[in-house]
Chain A
Amino acid sequence: MSEQTTQYKPSITIADQQAAAGKGAREFMMDVRTTDLEVNMGPQHPATHGVMRILIRADGELVTGAQPHLGYLHRCAEKIGENVEWLQYLPYTDRYDYLSSMNNNLGYSLAVEKLLGIEIPRRASMIRTICVELNRIASHLVAFGTYGLDLGAFTPFLYCFREREWLLMLFEKICGARLTYSYLRIGGVFNDAPPGWLEEVEQFCDVFDEKWVEYRDLLMMNHIFIKRTADIGVITPEQALDFGLTGPMLRGSGIDWDLRRDMPYMLYDEIWKAGVYQIPLGSGAQGVLGDCWDRVYVRVQEMVESIKIVRWCLANIEPGPTIAELPKVLRVPPGEAYVGIENPRGELGHYLVSDGGKVAVRCRVRGPSFCNLPILEDIMPHTFLADSVAIIGSTDVVIGETDR
């Protein structure tokens, strides 16, 4: 046999990983010769949830290497943060992870408030918690619905978007925008909830509690869905820690960690001590611990935990001011602070440096999608090409945040 394929030069270079390095031709079944083929998945591929390109090297049906290529949506958010005033940067935070803008607003506001050292009125914290948890549900609904869509289940997607539409309508009522809210401001929230809004949220909770059971059974317990996700894309707890995974990706591997409970901010400590919510963990119920099914099921369970937090807030909210007194042009005292909060996708961190002026010296954003993505380089090799969509979808990546 001639070595006609030895000239093949792989453009994927993955160091430290012998198994994924191209070995060229392989011989199967006497004289059937297969060779590695590079397939571009994306940038315009429906299953990459945005404009991400994954260069997959496949030997027949077997994936031998995968490399995400980012940057198609890079908007220099960190550079903008060094050029606009503290309050003016808030709308840019909406645009990293556009499915959970309330959470992004909160992360930035908490970081600036830490530098300012100000107290937030209790009613503002309550409304913040309600909005953030509702946004977590909306975000998980998209994750859950589109994951079904990726795997060929069209119906759950429609139901999920129906409920999400209701949530977006509630957000529109409170702040006027459907996706880019800029509602949680430095010092509190922009304005008080309109009359009747809290009752509408309660109605949503009542309906969602019933529907949630149906959605769970419709997709998560579906035999085909289980076959396509269980035992696929397994992330071991050691890998999850080494790669710095956070959020449902970490909890899907059975590691009990949630910033809301373990490093509480706002009112979460009080809510946890009242025994309101639980932290769902992956258990390997349908396959191996840390597989795609576990990660998705953690998200599904988190939705109903968020509903419990919202209900607690609705029961305990009291009238009062909704924003702290702040000057029009904000000057932040010199110093540096890092604040990490639990976003739907993991830990959203803001590292801010101030020199006492009107503009930040450094505005670093640690996006959970960006940090949860490199695991693909490790878990995708030695899987089947048909499973790659299931694995990518289970990371629940939002490209706005990886590229920022």
Chain B
Amino acid sequence: MDFQGIYDRLRAAKAPGLLDCDLPRAGDPADKKDQGRAGDAFVLVDPAHWADFFRTCKQDERLGFEQLIDLSATDPAKDDENFWVNVQLLSLKHKHRLAVKALLPKDPGRIATLARVYRAAQWHERECAEMFGITFEGHPDPRNILLPDDWAGSPLRKDYEFPKEYHGISCE
């Protein structure tokens, strides 16, 4: 299925929390500032129904997303109120992908875990939590994965300040 087919199917299946979709578009040649949007189409999902949305994606026969390929977040700008939580789903049976995005307010930055829907999400969420300071509610193993346990701050936030020293080692 192409993206429009997947989106229509999500609508027909009444997927919980489905808000909107965003399609790439060409820029307006008359307006130099309007460059359009390149890349992939994605669907926007309400973070309040996060896990239920993915349950539908996995269980619906015609969507058939068996695999969660990637889960990460994006901090679009320092003064932006929201994180984006990005998920890439893959269906091996139907040979299609779906990009899912949720706008998650930075304060408090809490979202449900997907580890019980897709086991693959567990490590991705651990990485995402330490890099952005997002809390995944109900996560079975919420430890740091790449950073040391005592690391302060969330490095992939745009407002992150690089530490001057770490355990007496100068970083400058």
Contacts and interface: CB of A to CB of B under 8 A. Distances in A.
A262 interface: yes
A338 B74 contact: no
Interface string A334-361: 1111101000000101011111100001
A308 interface: no
A396 to B, nearest CB: 17
Contacts of A371: 69, 120, 123-124
Interface string B148-168: 100000011000000000000
A336 B92 contact: no
A70 interface: yes
B145 A364 contact: no
A71 B36 contact: no
With most chain A CB atoms within 10 A of its CB, the pick from B66, B123, B140 is B123
Contacts of A71: 144-148
B70 A338 contact: yes
Contact of B122 (A13, A334, A374): A374
Contacts, number: 118
Interface stretch (A114-122, A158-166, A270-278): A114-122
B86 interface: yes
Contact of B88 (A243, A332, A351): A351
A336 to B, nearest CB: 5
A257 interface: yes
Contacts of B40: 114, 336-338
B120 A243 contact: yes
A364 B124 CA distance: 12
Contacts of B38: 114-117, 332-335, 337, 354
A347 B69 contact: yes
B92 A257 contact: yes
B147 A349 contact: no
Contacts of B141: 13-15
A84 to B, nearest CB: 15
B92 A244 contact: no
A345 to B, nearest CB: 14
A342 to B, nearest CB: 13
A182 to B, nearest CB: 24
Interface string A28-49: 0000000000000000000000
A19 interface: no
A366 B69 contact: yes
B42 interface: yes
Nearest to A333: B38
A115 B39 contact: yes
Contacts of B67: 241, 244
A173 interface: no
A349 B88 contact: yes
Nearest to B101: A336
A244 B146 CA distance: 19
Contacts of B27: 333
Contact of A262 (B95, B99, B144): B95
Contacts of B92: 241, 255, 257, 262
A171 to B, nearest CB: 29
Contact of B68 (A114, A244, A355, A356): A244
Interface in B111-146: 118-120, 122-124, 131, 140-141, 144-146
B37 A244 contact: no
A362 interface: yes
Contacts of A243: 119-120
Given A374-B123, A403-B146, A364 B70 contact: yes
Interface stretch (A73-81, A211-219, A290-298, A387-395): A73-81
With most chain B CB atoms within 10 A of its CB, the pick from A114, A263, A332, A334 is A334
Interface in A82-139: 82, 114-117
B146 A70 contact: yes
B2 to A, nearest CB: 13
Contacts of B120: 242-244, 371, 374
B95 to A, nearest CB: 5
Contacts of B123: 370-371, 373-374
A370 B70 CA distance: 11
A287 to B, nearest CB: 24
A16 interface: yes
B86 to A, nearest CB: 6
8 contacts: A70-B146, A241-B67, A246-B69, A263-B97, A340-B88, A340-B97, A353-B74, A366-B72
Interface of A: 13-16, 70-71, 74, 76, 78-79, 82, 114-117, 241-244, 246, 255, 257, 262-263, 332-338, 340, 347, 349, 351-356, 361-362, 364, 366, 370-371, 373-374, 403-404
Interface of B: 24, 27, 35-40, 42, 66-70, 72, 74-77, 86, 88, 92, 95, 97, 99, 118-120, 122-124, 131, 140-141, 144-148, 155-156
Given A353-B74, A355-B76, A364-B74, 14 more contacts: A71-B147, A71-B148, A76-B155, A78-B156, A82-B156, A115-B39, A244-B119, A257-B92, A333-B36, A334-B37, A338-B99, A351-B70, A351-B88, A366-B70
